[in-house]
Amino acid sequence: MTGSAITASGLRKAYQDKVVLDGIDLDVPAGTIFALLGPNGAGKTTTVNVLTTLTKADGGAVRVAGYDVTADAKAVRKSIGVTGQFAAVDELLTGRENLQLMVDLNPAADPAVIAGLLERFELTEAADRQASTYSGGMRRKLDLAMTLVGSPKIIFLDEPTTGLDPRSRRTMWTIIRDLVAEGVTILLTTQYLEEADQLAHRVAVLDGGRIVAEGTPDELKRRIPGTHVRFRFGSADELDTAVRILAGATADESELVVRVPCDGRTNSVRALLDKLDEWELDAEEFSVHTPDLDDVFLALTGHTTEVTAK
């Protein structure tokens, strides 16, 4: 497939008088990873539900794999795989039986895929154990393996690594990257800025049902202030002096922190430290800060990813 795998324009959805999607536009090129990034309640799951035909939008148009989600819902469903926040895994069945169930439900699927999927997801040893004995990471992997039974070309992953330990998260990232290398298109949702940064070709930042920014992770990072150093002082007097003597410095008075633009090179940092020495200022804390997507979120929405209530 070339061109767009998923397009949406003007998506709107409200529950009673609560607007959940407020005009969402998306364009996901085939063979890429697209991340919808946002805090709890931003509208990520609702967007995925609309794109995957589970929920009907109140307005707007969506095409997935070239089909209209309303007029051609069946064709869309045949072209996609969906792994949601609540795994489709049947806990009472073994891993192998869960995969067999997906093969049985999918007339086009080849039963021979099961062994390969178990191996790929490092589940061969656990294949004949009940899924209820699996760890969270194993369950997620089994869930994604079940999605792959039908070899979908477009896969939706709703928060694929929420709650996973760092090692399982990295395994999941590798699997996702491998799928895309094979030509699959992936739309994933995440609350993890690092995940979008690591995986996605393009990121849409969702907040309160609107896309507040869209671009490559690097483009988003360029939209915010660059590398700087931070000094934390022990008193307001020291803070005031530091702001006066350090060029371009800005202060956060409640935290007693000064931020100074600086490229992070040793010579530049040394010059700043020398200046503090000259004025007999002794910072309690010092760090060089390179912008990450957390800063992007704060700059674009005025709040961090933590504070939006559901």
Ligand X SMILES: Nc1ncnc2c1ncn2[C@@H]1O[C@H](COP(=O)(O)OP(=O)(O)OP(=O)(O)O)[C@@H](O)[C@H]1O
Which of these segments, 38-46, 109-117, 140-148, 291-299, binds ligand X (CB under 6 A)? 38-46
Tell me whether residue 43 or residue 95 sits nearer to ligand X (CB atom): 43
Residues 188-207 that bind ligand X (CB under 6 A): none
Residues 281-310 that bind ligand X (CB under 6 A): 310
Which of these segments, 33-41, 133-141, 148-156, 193-201, binds ligand X (CB under 6 A)? 33-41
Tell me whether residue 29 or residue 208 sits nearer to ligand X (CB atom): 208
Shortest Å, Cβ 88 to ligand X: 17
Which of these segments, 44-52, 100-108, 232-240, 281-289, binds ligand X (CB under 6 A)? 44-52
With helix as H, strand as E and coil as C, how does the chain read?
CCCEEEEEEEEEEEECCEEEEEEEEEEEECCCEEEEECCCCCCHHHHHHHHCCCCCCCEEEEEECCEECCCCHHHHHHHEEEECCCCCCCCCCEHHHHHHHHHHHCCCCCCCHHHHHHHHCCCCCCCCCEHHHCCHHHHHHHHHHHHHCCCCCEEEEECCCCCCCHHHHHHHHHHHHHHHHCCCEEEEEECCHHHHHHHCCEEEEEECCEEEEEECHHHHHHCCCCCEEEEECCCHHHHHHHHHHCCCCEEECCCCEEEEECCCCHHHHHHHHHHHHHCCCCCCEEEEECCCHHHHHHHHHCCCCCCCCC
Tell me whether residue 46 or residue 171 sits nearer to ligand X (CB atom): 46
Which residue of 26, 34, 46, 76 would you call a contact of ligand X, by CB under 6 A? Answer: 46
Which of these segments, 4-12, 13-21, 86-94, 237-245, binds ligand X (CB under 6 A)? 13-21
Residues 229-268 that bind ligand X (CB under 6 A): none
Tell me whether residue 42 or residue 82 sits nearer to ligand X (CB atom): 42
148 is an interface residue for ligand X by CB under 6 A: no
Interface contacts to ligand X, rule CB under 6 A: 15, 18, 20, 38, 40-46, 310
